[in-house]
Amino acid sequence: MPKVSGEFVARMEDVLELYAEAPDETRPVVCMDELSKELHGHAAEPMAAAPGRPAKEDYEYKRNGTGNVFLLLCPLLGWRHMEVTERRGYLEFAQLMKDLVDVRFPKAETIRVVLDNLNTHVFGALYEAFTPEEARRIARKLEFHYTPKHGSWLNMAEMEFSVLSRQCLDRRIATVQELADAIAAWEQQRNEARTKIEWSFRIADARRKLHWIYPS
């Protein structure tokens, strides 16, 4: 549970204020998060289904490491994009932000990014990956809005990951490429349907229902 803290309240209200805005493609709100998926291969070849016999999969599996899934979610516009990588670090995060600026929203004036406090989720990552001039160019297009500590529920990307896990990742996946292919197909379906997340919790609700976390 969140503790009484002016910092928690300030970050919470900052994020809630963004969610209350009308959709604006020139200043989009993009929720970013990442997820680690264990990769498990088959220890024995699975048995295909046949008339009168369901498919059968051996309970034993081979560990094939993990794949990292980066999510960019624009909940107000019904758009999302995911990148699957073998690593999660400064360079991968920096490349994701460059892609967000140059490919996903090239005409945006400012992109407001909601994200957590992971040590790689910083502007410094851009300088680790690119020249100072390039890093500054990308940074000028971005605003980072951090969720409070122990307040990851305020990031709508977590809700999208929950749906992804139930609909797409609830099975054995052996390789990074297989993971990327499965997620790409799921992403396309969601984007074609322009599936949005309806967020109804506002600052007024927080002040009324969570009044006990406000310092005064």
Q: Tell me the percentage of the chain whose pLDDT exceeds 70.
A: 88
- pLDDT at position 211 is 93
Mean pLDDT value across residues 144-149: 97
- pLDDT at position 48 is 59
Kindly list the distances between the CA atom of residue 213 and the CA atoms of 2, 193, 207, 208, in Å, as whole numbers in the listed order.
7, 38, 9, 10
- The amino acid present at 4, given as its one-letter code, is V
- pLDDT at position 172 is 79
Q: Which pTM does this prediction carry?
A: 0.86
Q: Per-residue pLDDT tens for 66-98?
A: 889 999 999 999 999 999 998 889 999 999 999
Q: Per-residue pLDDT tens for 18-49?
A: 999 999 999 999 999 999 988 865 555 555 55
Residue 37: closest CA among 62, 72, 61, 66: 66
Q: Tell me the percentage of the chain whose pLDDT exceeds 90.
A: 75
Q: Per-residue pLDDT tens for 1-26?
A: 667 689 999 999 999 999 999 999 99
Question: Is the model more confident about 66 or about 214?
Answer: 214
Mean pLDDT value across residues 44-70: 65
Instruction: Output the average pLDDT for the chain.
Output: 90
- pLDDT at position 171 is 80
Mean pLDDT value across residues 187-201: 95
- pLDDT at position 52 is 62
Mean pLDDT value across residues 96-113: 98
Provide the 10 A C-beta neighbour count for residue 184: 12
Kindly list the distances between the CA atom of residue 163 and the CA atoms of 30, 32, 42, 115, 167, in Å, as whole numbers in the listed order.
18, 15, 25, 18, 6
- pLDDT at position 105 is 97
Domain annotation for the chain: domains and CATH numbers: 18-38+63-195 (3.30.420.10)
Angle between helices 176-192 and 156-167 in degrees, nearest 10: 110
**Burial of 216 (C-beta count, 10 Å sphere; 0-12/13-18/19+):** exposed
